[in-house]
């Protein structure tokens, strides 16, 4: 959908930065790259890829995204210190379109209690940060953190400084999700009055969902003249999350004639993006979640079903095809060949050829032998499971679990190691899954500890593919992994091995990133806002 440039709303996706700050989410570099590639397919304008100073792993991931993802602006977050900005720049500098996003709090509570400094000092830091960032790139975003709770006159002074130093986007966050639509809109109206130069740059909203108002507040900001929305897929993010990307995009599209605004997002990629983010983060999407929930397009009441059969728009304000749900209708059977599989995968947006196609085909056959019909959702799960191999991949060769109500289960496992050898291990546990994971630890020689374990079904029915997400901790590194199979224990083993490999990969190639972060003291690597 297109329209006048002045009515275009830029979609700034922060799934990989603010979203990744959700408790329990820990994505590997490969997983972040996969999400960033999908965000590019979705057509977002900006990918905020991470906060490079915070860890070598984050630095590496942002750098990989900057190098490999084409299309969107790739943005790195930085506080106002020189080390933060240098780290952000070193991570994003190889992007075709790099952006540094720097921020400092402007509310008195944050200045006095958190930063323990003065308003004058905040002004100085904002000035120095934007000036330093502009030495590296022409695309610099500045955010007065906790903007919605700041004294607007003071915030205006800081924003003016950022503009004088060359900031090209000003983002005013509702950091703690406290504001209400009228208040947020009034704040922007006043800010535009106090800082007329804001009319020459992009002004942005960034809303948290603590009171369930993130999307409504973002919309109010757009009504007040903002033209960038910061949001995250499935609404993930700090505490109650960020404004949900899919809700914003579909709101602007569905109510375009009233709002007169548009985005460049390819909405048919929404469903797939949501599934990918949910799968990789281990954050399930609630069934009744707007746009991407399982029930968002389902009609339960007979009267509704009857109405929709007669005329879809009696009860549907959006068409499921708009967000890419019609793709789920592709079905293959156990006699389908390689060619049919490749065609179905192409329709799903996966280009799988050569050896990867052979592997995917092998996996497809395994599943198709057990399940009569393999749906598009199954295919997507199988292919992403198969393609998501960490460099030091482990293979689940075989396993056996003896379980009864009389005694503790005993698991025995054989695991293919990265070097090609096969190692075995046996262990008892409180339950079959516990025994299985301990046996894997014994076989691989790692003392990983399970932190979270989720099971879900890819589709309905007794023969549904099960999908398992595991979050584990190994030597202080948190990592997650997913596995898919018709057998839930096999899916669990695959997920655990993948998480283990991700933890090792995460702990491994950080030496170079460490070099870029040299000089950043411990305080500089404190948790993100």
- Binding partner of residue 83 among ligand KIV, Zn ion, none, CB under 5 to 8 Å per kind? none
Cβ(268)–Cβ(321) below 8 Å = yes
Q: Which of 31, 60, 145, 246 binds ligand KIV (CB under 6 A)?
A: 145
| 418-457: contacts with ligand KIV (CB under 6 A) | none
Between residues 228 and 482, which has the closer beta carbon with respect to Zn ion?
228
Q: Which of 26, 54, 32 is nearest to 516 (CA)?
A: 54
- The single residue listed with the structure tokens 């497809």 is 364
Contact stretch for ligand KIV (CB under 6 A) within 111-119, 159-167, 169-177, 298-306: 169-177
**Closest CB 10 distance from ligand KIV, rounded Å:** 15
Q: Which helix (H) or strand (E) holds 162?
A: helix 152-164
Cβ(367)–Cβ(459) below 8 Å = no
| Cα atoms found within 13 Å of the Cα of residue 411, Cβ hemisphere only | 26
Sequence-ordered list of residues with C-beta below 8 angstroms from that of 523, at least 6 positions apart, any chain: none
| 65-124: contacts with ligand KIV (CB under 6 A) | 103
* DSSP state for residue 51 in the 8-state scheme: -
Distance of CA 25 to the CA centre of its chain: 9
Cβ(467)–Cβ(279) below 8 Å = yes
Other C-beta atoms lying within 10 Å of the C-beta of residue 525: 18
Q: Which of 143, 169, 263, 412 binds ligand KIV (CB under 6 A)?
A: 143
Cα 395 to Cα 42: distance, rounded to the nearest angstrom: 32
Between residues 435 and 520, which has the closer beta carbon with respect to ligand KIV?
520
- Binding partner of residue 269 among ligand KIV, Zn ion, none, CB under 5 to 8 Å per kind? none
Between residues 18 and 20, which has the closer beta carbon with respect to Zn ion?
18
Between residues 229 and 499, which has the closer beta carbon with respect to ligand KIV?
229
Between residues 18 and 490, which has the closer beta carbon with respect to Zn ion?
18
**Closest CB 529 distance from ligand KIV, rounded Å:** 5
Which string of x and - marks every residue 3-42 that binds Zn ion (by CB under 5 A)?
---------------x------------------------
Cβ(498)–Cβ(483) below 8 Å = yes
| 181-240: contacts with ligand KIV (CB under 6 A) | 206, 208
> Is residue 529 within the footprint of ligand KIV (CB under 6 A)?
yes
Cα 511 to Cα 159: distance, rounded to the nearest angstrom: 37
What residues line the site for Zn ion (CB under 5 A)? 18
Q: Residue numbers of the site for ligand KIV (CB under 6 A)?
A: 18, 103, 143, 145, 171, 173, 175, 206, 208, 529
């Amino acid at each position: 959908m297109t329209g006048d440039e002045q009515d275009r709303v830029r979609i700034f996706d922060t799934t990989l930065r603010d979203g990744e700050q959700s408790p329990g989410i820990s994505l590997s570099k490969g997983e972040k790259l996969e999400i960033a590639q999908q965000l590019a397919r979705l057509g977002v304008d900006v990918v905020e890829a991470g906060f490079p100073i915070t860890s070598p792993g984050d630095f590496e991931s942002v750098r990989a995204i900057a190098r490999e993802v084409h299309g969107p602006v790739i943005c790195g977050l930085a506080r106002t210190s020189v080390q933060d900005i240098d780290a952000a720049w070193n991570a994003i500098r190889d992007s075709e379109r790099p952006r540094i996003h720097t921020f400092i709090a402007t509310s008195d509570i944050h200045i006095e209690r958190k930063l323990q400094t003065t308003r004058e000092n905040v002004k100085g830091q904002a000035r120095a940060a934007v000036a330093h960032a502009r030495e590296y790139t022409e695309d610099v975003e500045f955010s007065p953190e906790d903007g919605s709770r700041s004294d607007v006159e003071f915030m205006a002074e800081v924003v003016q400084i950022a503009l004088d130093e060359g900031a090209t986007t000003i983002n005013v966050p509702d950091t703690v999700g406290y504001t209400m639509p009228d208040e947020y809109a009034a704040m922007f109206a006043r800010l535009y009055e106090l800082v007329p130069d804001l009319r020459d740059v992009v002004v942005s909203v960034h809303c948290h969902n603590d009171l369930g108002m993130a999307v409504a507040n973002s919309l109010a900001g757009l009504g007040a003249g903002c033209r960038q929305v910061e949001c995250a897929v499935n609404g993930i993010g700090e505490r109650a999350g960020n404004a949900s990307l899919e809700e914003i995009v579909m709101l602007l599209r569905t109510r375009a004639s009233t709002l007169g605004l548009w985005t460049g997002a390819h909405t048919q990629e929404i469903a797939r993006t949501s599934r990918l983010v949910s799968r990789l983060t281990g954050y399930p999407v609630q069934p009744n979640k707007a746009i991407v929930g399982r029930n968002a397009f389902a009609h339960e009441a007979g009267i509704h079903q009857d109405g929709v059969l007669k005329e879809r728009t009696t009860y549907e304000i959006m068409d499921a095809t708009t967000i890419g749900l019609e793709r789920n209708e592709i079905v293959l059977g156990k006699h389908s060949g390689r060619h049919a599989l490749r065609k179905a995968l192409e329709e799903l947006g996966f280009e799988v050829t050569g050896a990867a196609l052979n592997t995917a085909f092998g996996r497809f056959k395994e599943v198709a032998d057990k399940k009569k019909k393999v749906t598009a959702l199954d295919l997507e799960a199988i292919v992403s499971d198969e393609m998501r191999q960490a460099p030091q991949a482990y293979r689940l060769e075989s396993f056996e679990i003896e379980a009864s109500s009389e005694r503790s289960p005993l698991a025995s496992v054989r695991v293919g190691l990265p070097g090609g050898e096969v190692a075995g291990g046996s262990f008892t546990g409180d339950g079959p899954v516990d025994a299985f994971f301990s046996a894997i630890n014994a076989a691989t020689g790692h003392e990983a500890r399970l932190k979270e374990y989720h099971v879900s079904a890819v589709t309905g029915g007794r023969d549904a593919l099960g999908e398992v997400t595991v979050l584990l901790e190994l030597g202080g590194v948190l990592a997650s992994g997913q596995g898919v199979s018709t057998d839930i224990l096999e899916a669990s083993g695959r997920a655990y091995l993948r998480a283990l490999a991700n933890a090792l990969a995460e702990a491994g190639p950080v030496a170079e990133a460490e070099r870029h972060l040299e000089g950043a003291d411990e305080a500089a690597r404190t948790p993100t806002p």
